[in-house]
Amino acid sequence: MNKYFRFATAFAALAVAAAASAAASPSPPTKNVVLVHGAFADGSGWMTVANILERDGFKVSVAQPPETSLEDDVAATNRTIDAMGGPVVLVGHSYGGIIITAAGNNAHVKSLVYVAAFQPDTGESLGSLSAGKPPASSGPKPSPDGFLYLDRADFHADFCADLPAPLADFMALSQVGLSVKAAGAAATVPAWKTKPSFAIVATKDRAINPDLERSMYKRAGSTVTELASSHVAYISHAAEVAAVIERAAQ
């Protein structure tokens, strides 16, 4: 009986030790990344970041939300996430932060990265957040059919001041308008409340107030990096942005 008791005790101790070791072992890094553009832009701006990530062994997809409504944009992002076939780091720029706050509830998403992006709480929208801490820019203008756009004369200074003028001019003429409906859509179940988040403040941002970025990221408990960048940090500081994404993958 004593021999059996000693065997059972030893077996139980080994089982507990194995469980503790498994719990202490870090989960393997996530190797899939989905990049989401924001308002007045498209996915092509992520090219340099995507190239860096792929060079470093990541599988990358770039979602192309149409910016017609938050529902449409989340659906487009979820299609991209689901096609990756495994755990995903989900990254959003600008209005893309609104999108990933919702799409981040997808079971495949393991962590979130906000790049000069909105990080709303329940009930907040792009419009309400911007009104609370207005940016330095002249702001978007409405089109007759319910979309917002940036005046080409102001685009370089307000959106991407640290990019070369020819690139800024092309981005201005190829910008994707944001629907007023999307700008007013409120967050419902923010994924950052249950998943780790990382965030980048663009300290020279004129499209989103940098103090708004700081306050949203502090509230969410995000791991924050600050870059001396315009709103398009993912283009002008691609290496630094890629490094933050790779940290989120760990």
Domain assignment of residue 204, yes or no: yes
Domain assignment of residue 21, yes or no: no
Contact between 197 and 119 under an 8 Å Cβ cutoff? The reply is yes
Domain assignment of residue 244, yes or no: yes
Q: Which of 137, 112, 99, 120 is nearest to 30 (CA)?
A: 112
Domain assignment of residue 94, yes or no: yes
Question: Which pLDDT score is estimated for 25?
Answer: 52
Using CA atoms of 121, 123, 127, 133 in order, give the dihedral in degrees to the nearest 10. -50
Q: What is the Cα–Cα distance from 39 to 171, expressed in whole angstroms?
A: 12
Instruction: Give the CATH number for residue 122.
Output: 3.40.50.1820
Domain assignment of residue 36, yes or no: yes
Contact between 181 and 146 under an 8 Å Cβ cutoff? The reply is yes
Question: Which pLDDT score is estimated for 248?
Answer: 98
Question: Which pLDDT score is estimated for 29?
Answer: 85
Domain assignment of residue 124, yes or no: yes
Counting the structural domains of the chain, the total is 1
Phi, psi of 122 (to 5 degrees): -55, 130
Q: What is the Cα–Cα distance from 189 to 235, expressed in whole angstroms?
A: 30
**Exposed, middle or buried: residue 17 (CB in 10 Å: 0-12, 13-18, 19+)?**
exposed
Domain assignment of residue 235, yes or no: yes
The domain in which residue 229 lies consists of: 29-248
What are the per-10-residue average pLDDT scores of the chain (250 residues)? 46 44 61 98 97 98 98 98 97 98 98 98 98 95 97 97 98 98 98 98 98 98 98 98 98
Question: Which pLDDT score is estimated for 4?
Answer: 45
Domain assignment of residue 228, yes or no: yes
Contact between 174 and 111 under an 8 Å Cβ cutoff? The reply is no
Question: Which pLDDT score is estimated for 26?
Answer: 61
